């Protein structure tokens, strides 16, 4: 017997009925994006490795420790399974000169890959929904994207998430803050853990994002980037805040919020929860005005966010807000092979009219007893059983039996007029 093969660790199958909940969530996302005027884009899962090294930063955790990178044995190209999709969207927009006639609002849904320890809501193949607005410099679009998140939470019934907000300013402001950070941490070098010591001169801003409890007091006393922002950066940040305030959206300014990629500037934000343990970020994003130029495009501003689908669904489950798996409207009970052809004509007519019908499938020993078929009809969750008995079919009829209302009577419906009485099943 051949050895059984299993999925790669941290890369999971999504099986029914769970997959139906994913489809429900994706439908909500697509409807939301249509309301906001965002168009769908689909980029390759595999991208050139330099795209992420250049875009995300060489000393980020993703590039240093988490990317699935390999060399193409056919031609020697250095390739990477995408660990995130902002860089890929920017690459595609640049490659196809999409900003030649103005800004673009884009969204995507798809799998990403990071080699990290699998844990609750966080896997090596995970899925993201993202929204990117490219070619827009104003704070209005920053605020629009944040408000879009709130609208999504409302659409899916998600609560117990809160917004944290910060500004990373511009490169020259971050440079001055960086120098102050290095000087501060040098004075407390003995309190730095191994990770912080490694980042001290390469990326000291990331030290502020440490999860080490022993370093929290030290980080709290570090120089704050907000104190180094110039007039224009503060004006941009305050304009974003004013729009959020006008829309009644509560938030907390978090001066330690820096995000995990090097490409951010000005506005950064995260939606966080306390219900998923240490992995509390549900959605995050911000402005990245210099990324397009970094990967070889004509300079243009941009802002966006991404959310983890697994984390959102896990949080909905935690809150008891996950919708039940969809059930068919009807289950077709077909007790005899002699009526199968007639039954399938009627079933197809009902499906064409929009009625979801699950047909009982015969096994190797035949269709099975009526009793066993009714058990399957009940388990399916269908509202009705359609009984194609030989007597009913010979009279040109099918019996329609309500399964969820014991007081409702079984009725007969004409086979030839299935398209007409289909509306009764849908509207019941």
Known binding residue 114? Answer is yes
85 is in an annotated binding site: yes
Q: Is 376 annotated as a binding residue?
A: no
Strands (E), 72-118: 78-81, 104-113
CB count in 10 Å sphere of residue 172: 11
Q: Is 259 annotated as a binding residue?
A: yes
Nearest to 95 by CA among 43, 33, 54: 43
Give dist(CA 135, CA 392) in Å, integer.
65
6 annotated ligand-binding residue: no
Residue 313 · residue 29 · CB < 8 Å: no
Has 390 been labeled as part of a binding site?
no
Strand order through the sheet with 252-253:
39-40, 104-113, 125-134, 302-308, 281-287, 265-272, 162-167, 252-253
Radius of gyration of the chain (CA): 28
Residue 116 assigned as binding residue: no
Question: How close are the terminal C-alpha atoms of the chain, in Å?
Answer: 51
Q: What three-state secondary structure class fits 3?
A: coil
The helix (run of H) or strand (run of E) holding residue 245 is: helix 231-246
Q: Is 128 annotated in some ligand binding site?
A: yes
Q: What are phi and psi of 203, to 5 degrees?
A: -155, 70
Residue 49, marked binder: no
Mapping DSSP to helix (H, G, I), strand (E, B) and coil, where does residue 387 land? strand
Annotated binding site: 84-86, 114, 128, 132, 259, 263-264
Annotated binding site for L-histidine: 84-86, 114, 128, 132, 259, 263-264
């Amino acid at each position: 017997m051949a050895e059984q093969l299993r999925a790669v660790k941290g890369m999971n199958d999504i099986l029914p009925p769970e997959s139906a909940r994913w489809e429900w969530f994706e439908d909500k996302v697509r409807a939301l994006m249509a309301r906001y005027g965002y168009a769908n884009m689909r980029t390759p899962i595999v991208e050139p490795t330099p795209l992420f090294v250049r875009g995300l930063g060489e000393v980020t955790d993703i590039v240093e420790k988490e990317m699935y990178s390999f060399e193409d044995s056919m031609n020697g190209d250095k390739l990477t399974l995408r660990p995130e999709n902002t860089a890929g969207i920017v690459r595609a927009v640049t490659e196809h000169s999409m900003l030649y006639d103005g800004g673009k609002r884009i969204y995507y849904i798809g799998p990403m890959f990071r080699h990290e320890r699998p844990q609750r809501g966080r896997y090596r193949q995970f899925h993201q929904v993202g929204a990117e607005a490219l070619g827009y410099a104003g704070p209005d679009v920053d605020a629009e994207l944040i408000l879009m998140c709130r609208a999504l939470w409302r659409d899916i019934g998600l609560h117990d998430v809160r917004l944290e907000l910060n500004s990373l300013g511009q490169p020259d402001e971050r440079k001055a803050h960086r120098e102050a950070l290095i000087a501060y941490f040098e004075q407390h070098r003995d309190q730095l853990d191994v990770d912080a010591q490694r980042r001290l001169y390469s990326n000291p801003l990331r030290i502020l994002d440490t999860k080490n409890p022993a370093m929290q007091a030290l980080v709290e006393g570090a120089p704050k980037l907000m104190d180094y922002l110039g007039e224009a950066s503060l004006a941009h940040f305050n304009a974003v805040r004013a729009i959020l305030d006008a829309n009644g959206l509560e938030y907390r300014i978090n001066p330690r919020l820096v995000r995990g990629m090097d490409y951010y500037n000005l506005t950064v934000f995260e939606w966080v929860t306390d219900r998923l343990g240490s992995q509390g970020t549900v959605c995050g994003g911000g402005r990245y005005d210099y990324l397009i130029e970094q990967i070889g495009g004509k300079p243009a501003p941009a802002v966006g966010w991404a959310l983890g689908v697994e984390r959102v669904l896990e949080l909905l489950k935690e809150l008891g807000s996950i919708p039940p798996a969809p059930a068919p409207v009807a289950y077709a009970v077909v007790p005899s092979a002699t009526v199968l052809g007639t039954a399938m004509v009627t079933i197809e007519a009902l499906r064409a009219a929009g009625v979801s019908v699950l047909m009982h499938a015969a096994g190797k020993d035949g269709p099975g007893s009526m009793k066993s078929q009714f058990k399957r009809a009940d388990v399916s969750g269908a509202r009705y059983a359609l009984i194609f008995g030989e007597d009913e079919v010979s009279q040109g009829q099918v019996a329609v039996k309500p399964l969820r209302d014991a007081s409702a009577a079984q009725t007969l419906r004409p086979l030839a007029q299935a398209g007409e009485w289909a509306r009764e099943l849908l509207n019941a």
